[in-house]
Chain A
Amino acid sequence: MNHKRRKKKQKGAKMVVKVYGPDYASPKRVILCLIEKEIDYETVDVDLFKGEHMSPQYLKLQPFGVLPVIEDGDYKLYESRAIIRYYAEKYRSQGSELLGKTIEERGLIEQWLDVEAHIFQPPLYDLVVQLLINPKTGVASDPKRIQEDEEKLTKTLDVYEERLSVSKYLASDTFSLADLSHVPFSNYLMTTLKKEYLIRDRKNVSRWWDDISSRPSWKKVLELHPPVL
């Protein structure tokens, strides 16, 4: 694994968080959050195609062999959505407010974070495997599964279209962790997966995507850590 320092001119936190696997989308979820919260970080490369996520060294940090994991001094944490909740809470007083103002608003953010994890992500992740990862590893893709994945995403995005017709962002009229969580994998839809129609055919989803993907934080993520898929 290669240790690369990414030193940023920074105010606020003095601790430098280490984020493993910046080439890939789930770690980008974390990096996007750190940039929104103006938190200094550095990255450690993990090459999935060389199997580095299954090395004994990596498994000591993340026993399920998936990305990302963070190290913050002695503190280790994995699961990108746990990590973003942690930093959004810990650095509440700096950067963008991502957790809402009330317990009820937080509840709605949690609801849409869970929708992203349980409903939006699984078929999208499968598309990434079928269309972006399998060709690189010589595994045959399954056209039936690809079709099912698109059908599921279509139904899901119809619900999003309805929601975003009455709300500027998913949980409320303020950008939150729930919107942020969607950005890295949705980016694949607009680029290498070539499924932009899923977004562009829906007026409100399209408006929402343009908004969240044009935030300076996401532009910074793409600039510093270009996607490899």
Chain B
Amino acid sequence: MVVKVYGATYAACPQRVMACLFELGFQFDLIKIDLQSGEQKQPQNLLRQPFGQVPSIEDGDFKLFESRAIIRYYSAKSASQGGTNLLGETLEDRALVDQWMEVKVNNYNPMIYTMVLQLVVLPQQGQVGDMELVRDCKGKLEKVLDVYEERLSKSKYLGGERFTIADLTHLPNTRFLMEEGGMEDLIKRRKNLHNWWLDISSRPSWLKVMDLPK
């Protein structure tokens, strides 16, 4: 069964799902939703994702939305079938993976989201971004990244010594930070964080996502 992924190749949350499906070896078809024209908020997509967002998946009769729920679902499915384990070995390992996934949602994402809005989205709509807000976010993010640096000085990956969905989930937003965000210095100045980024962003699954036609 080929999973249908509704989204766009250039959007962070669909990228997260596609990277995970590549890692786990689950075949999928990407069905493009035109985000620029607001297709995600049209009635047809609202049937799949009632909050008007991407991605969502259809796997036979099974439907799911929220990118982290989707990657958790397929990771659990893979592990239960004896396939690639991106969740962690023990319950305690898996809880640490969950911890870092939540850290990203609560401490990392809000800064990046605000910066995306001010640096990319508003200018695209012909508005001026709030640079003071960007500076404020950057300051907060520096403190958060110090904690990451400390963590990665003690373990190779966020959840432990193995690559897991805790690391994978960071790929799209960190790429944005390094590229359109113009803040690669935040990562490069931190030795362990930088080495971790070089490692995870050179994984074949991520390179495949980056190669997908925009």
Contacts and interface: CB of A to CB of B under 8 A. Distances in A.
Nearest to A26: B106
Contacts of A81: 98, 102
**A63, A80, A81, A163: residue with the most chain B Cβ atoms closer than 10 Å:** A63
How many interface residues does chain B have, given as a range? 20 to 34
B91 A163 contact: no
A64 B64 contact: no
B10 interface: no
A106 B50 contact: no
Given A82-B99, A90-B91, A156 B51 contact: yes
Given A77-B95, A78-B99, A106 B51 contact: no
A224 interface: no
Going nearest first, the 9 A-B pairs with the smallest beta carbon separation are A79-B102, A82-B98, A110-B69, A107-B73, A114-B66, A86-B95, A111-B69, A82-B99, A63-B147
A117 B107 CA distance: 12
Contacts of A75: 92
What is the predominant secondary structure among interface residues of chain A facing chain B? Answer: helix
Contacts of B77: 103
B99 A79 contact: yes
B150 interface: yes
Nearest to A104: B62
B117 to A, nearest CB: 14
B128 interface: no
A126 B185 CA distance: 31
B144 interface: yes
Interface in B87-142: 91-92, 94-96, 98-99, 101-103, 105-107, 110
Nearest to B92: A75
A131 interface: no
A107 B62 contact: yes
B104 to A, nearest CB: 10
B69 A114 contact: yes
Contacts of A79: 98-99, 102-103, 106
A83 interface: yes
B72 interface: yes
A118 B105 contact: yes
A64 B102 contact: no
A83 B102 CA distance: 10
